[in-house]
Amino acid sequence: MREVQQLRDDILHQLEDNGRIDLSTLAVLIGSDEARVANEVAQMEKEKIICGYSALIDWDKTGIERVTALIEVRVTPQRGEGFDKIAARIYNFPEVESCYLISGGYDLMVILDGRTLKEVSMFVSEKLSSLEAIISTSTHFILKRYKDNGIVMAASKEAERMLVSP
Amino acid sequence: MRNPLSKRIMEIQPSGIRKFFDIASEMKDVISLGVGEPDFDTPWRIREEGIYSLEKGRTFYTSNAGLLELRNEISKYMARTIEVTYQAEKEVVLTAGGSEGIDIALRCMVEAGDEVLVPQPSFVSYVPCVAMTGATPVVIPLQNENQFKLTLAELEAVTTAKTKVLMLSFPNNPTGAVMTREDLLPIAEFVLQHDLYVISDEIYSELCYHGPHVSIASLPGMRERTVVINGFSKGFAMTGWRLGYCCGPEMIIEQMIKLHQFAIMCAPTTSQYAAVEGLRNCSSDVEKMRKSYNERRRFLMHAFQHMQIGCFEPFGAFYVFPDIREFGMTSEEFATQLLMAEKVAVVPGTAFGDCGEGFLRISYAYSLEDIKEALRRLEKFIMKLRGCESGC
């Protein structure tokens, strides 16, 4: 059992770093065999431990306009359902990139991707603020992305090591 | 005009690596697996502490032996890793890298008339450093079939009445070999019987992939006969900071501090402050790097198996030492042709001693992408040598 857990941990760490790694390489790196790894990955996909694979893109380097906003939302929790129901009302909008229940002065953190500032503002005023349970919102636009998902977005630096050394 | 140079320095051969470096650096698009240092940047916590110490204006000499705060941390580190206790005040000295430690330990311990046993293949500085003391280096050629470990029989064969010091370096550069407790026990027993001393270069101690590192100093009776050399370069990815240390009996360390004081004064102050943070709070960074090296090690071994290149499985450092004797070329010929034909730089085994003939040192302190590309080129090269152009 512990062995399986270890194998799963190893696989997940590898995939978290590089979702595109091929399973045969992954198996070699963690010292397992491909069939077992493939089986475990399929199993974890089924169990929704692995929920998807995506690329990390620095949109600023493309010509495509994109605006990301962090929206702090205060809501009135509902009897019997707590925050879940209102959260679902929010996260089901396709514009919502992420939605978290958080501790502190606010209840929900909503991360929104839009094409323009206006689009985001419209969403907040028309869709979000108009929900009954919402007490207040506070919208922060991201101005610059320094690091995302553990990856520093700045240009990679030149290798500075000597070519050969003892 | 008189010759300004001493006979001793003129007799020392320049490092065999230099030549390769010169050729490789003239070429374009070379992919190198020839480097003996980590590809990771120093963990940010350590760098940040270095920056902070500079901001605070901690730019003065430290005591000759090094910051007591750091020596205390080293003492604790040694107790928890190799289970040997050293007094921070008297038995630890900070040096400008492990290399200085090797040099001053030898200069304090041997002189003309003494013999120093140097198992090879091993780091390039041992033999020249011994030679500069006037003592005689006696090379022990280690064997592939023993996975490049030192055996009792090999030790017995070369020990004489003049033998004083045995240089040990495991995990080993360039072979990646490690010695387990069982491997070291008979060596330690022999050292005790013959009243020898050991200088044990354990700079790769953090990079063991099959159980924790065992120091010969931790074996019965050996603490008083061993100077342990270690440092921050490899495990903590701090090569450029030039910070190493030596631990050993007071009687030897005291003299090493004297020599260190006259030659270097003290190890770099910024590095010392940064290293305190390293020992206190960076074990998870070290662990992460070790894990990453281990993955690449597995990847290389797998690739060699696939290419049918003979290579014993090394369990330490970040090197593999494949056997290329089937190609009927010297190591240097092979490495030169590989560089010219496929632009892959590796180091011929002979750079680490004559007994490295027939082997290459391949470093895996590189990203997986670099390693993959280098292996692709290497495979193409050996396919040609084997006379099968398109896969066989």
State pLDDT tens for residues B84-93.
999 999 999 9
Cβ contact B105:B199 at 8 Å: yes
Whether B307 contacts chain A with CB within 8 A: no
Whether B302 contacts chain A with CB within 8 A: yes
Q: Answer yes or no: is A118 within a domain.
A: yes
Mean residue pLDDT of chain A comes to 92
- Minimal CA–CA distance to B169: which of B150, B188, B151? B150
Residue B227 to chain A, least CA–CA distance (Å): 22
Chain B residue numbers with beta carbons less than 8 Å from the beta carbon of A30 are: 295, 298
Q: What is the pLDDT of residue B48?
A: 98
Neighbour tally for B392: CB within 10 Å: 7
Question: Mean pLDDT throughout A137-145?
Answer: 94
Both B119 and B247 in one domain: the answer is: yes
Question: Mean pLDDT throughout B200-209?
Answer: 98
Q: CATH code at A32?
A: 1.10.10
Both A14 and A79 in one domain: the answer is: no
Question: Mean pLDDT throughout A18-27?
Answer: 95
Which pLDDT tens digit goes with each residue over B15-48? Answer: 878 777 888 888 889 999 999 999 999 999 999 9
Chain A residue numbers with beta carbons less than 8 Å from the beta carbon of B125 are: 166
Both A78 and A114 in one domain: the answer is: yes
Q: Answer yes or no: is B49 within a domain.
A: no
Q: Answer yes or no: is B391 within a domain.
A: no
Q: What is the pLDDT of residue A77?
A: 83
Both A25 and A77 in one domain: the answer is: no
Which pLDDT tens digit goes with each residue over A108-136? Answer: 999 999 889 999 999 999 999 999 899 99
Both A93 and A138 in one domain: the answer is: yes
In eight-state DSSP terms, residue B39 is S
At B375, list the tokens.
Answer: 């292996």
- Minimal CA–CA distance to B176: which of B328, B336, B301? B301
Q: Answer yes or no: is A53 within a domain.
A: no
Q: What is the pLDDT of residue A159?
A: 79
Q: Which of A25, A29, A161 sits opposite B35 (nearest CB)?
A: A161
Q: Which residues pair with B270 in a beta bridge?
A: none
Mean residue pLDDT of chain B comes to 96
Q: Which of A25, A164, A166 sits opposite B32 (nearest CB)?
A: A164
Q: What is the pLDDT of residue B389?
A: 53
Q: What is the pLDDT of residue B17?
A: 80
Q: Answer yes or no: is A69 within a domain.
A: yes
Quick one: residue B110, left, alpha or beta (phi over 0 = left, psi -120 to 50 = alpha)?
Answer: beta
Q: Do B17 and A29 touch (CB under 8 A)?
A: no
Both B134 and B211 in one domain: the answer is: yes
pLDDT at B326 over 80: yes
- Angstrom distance (rounded) from CA B331 to CA B340: 14
Whether A163 contacts chain B with CB within 8 A: yes
Whether A149 contacts chain B with CB within 8 A: no
Chain A residue numbers with beta carbons less than 8 Å from the beta carbon of B36 are: 165-166
- Minimal CA–CA distance to A166: which of B172, B95, B297, B238? B172
Q: Answer yes or no: is A77 within a domain.
A: yes
Task: Find the helix or strand (DSSP H, E) in which A41 lies.
Answer: helix A34-46
Q: CATH code at A103?
A: 3.30.70.920
Q: Which of B21, B125, B368 sits opposite A163 (nearest CB)?
A: B21
Both B73 and B170 in one domain: the answer is: yes
> What is the residue range of B343's domain?
7-41+284-384
- Angstrom distance (rounded) from CA A161 to CA B345: 13
Cβ contact A107:A75 at 8 Å: yes
Q: If pLDDT is split at 50, 70 and 90, which confidence band does B392 have?
A: low
Cβ contact B362:B300 at 8 Å: yes
Whether A152 contacts chain B with CB within 8 A: no
Q: Answer yes or no: is B52 within a domain.
A: no
pLDDT at A154 over 90: no
Whether B53 contacts chain A with CB within 8 A: no
- Angstrom distance (rounded) from CA B104 to CA B100: 6
Which pLDDT tens digit goes with each residue over A35-69? Answer: 999 999 999 999 999 999 999 998 888 989 899 99
Q: What is the pLDDT of residue B24?
A: 83
> What is the residue range of A6's domain?
2-46
Residue B211 to chain A, least CA–CA distance (Å): 16
Percent of chain B whose predicted confidence (pLDDT) is above 90: 94
pLDDT at B390 over 70: no
Both A31 and A79 in one domain: the answer is: no
Which pLDDT tens digit goes with each residue over B239-295? Answer: 999 999 999 999 999 999 999 999 999 999 999 999 999 999 999 999 999 999 999
Whether A150 contacts chain B with CB within 8 A: no
Which pLDDT tens digit goes with each residue over B153-162? Answer: 999 999 999 9
Q: What is the pLDDT of residue B102?
A: 98
Q: Answer yes or no: is B335 within a domain.
A: yes
Both B276 and B351 in one domain: the answer is: no
Q: What is the pLDDT of residue B157?
A: 98
- Minimal CA–CA distance to B356: which of B122, B15, B152? B122
As for how many domains chain A has, the answer is 2
Say what the ipTM of the complex is. Answer: 0.85
Q: If pLDDT is split at 50, 70 and 90, which confidence band does B338 have?
A: very high
Q: CATH code at B98?
A: 3.40.640.10
Question: Mean pLDDT throughout B44-62?
Answer: 98
Both B376 and B324 in one domain: the answer is: yes
At A39, list the tokens.
Answer: 């089986």
Q: What is the pLDDT of residue A79?
A: 78
Whether B313 contacts chain A with CB within 8 A: no
As for how many domains chain B has, the answer is 2
Q: Give start and end residues of each alpha helix (H) in chain B.
A: 7-11, 16-26, 44-55, 68-81, 97-109, 126-133, 152-158, 181-193, 250-263, 269-281, 283-307, 331-342, 368-385
Q: What is the pLDDT of residue A48?
A: 97
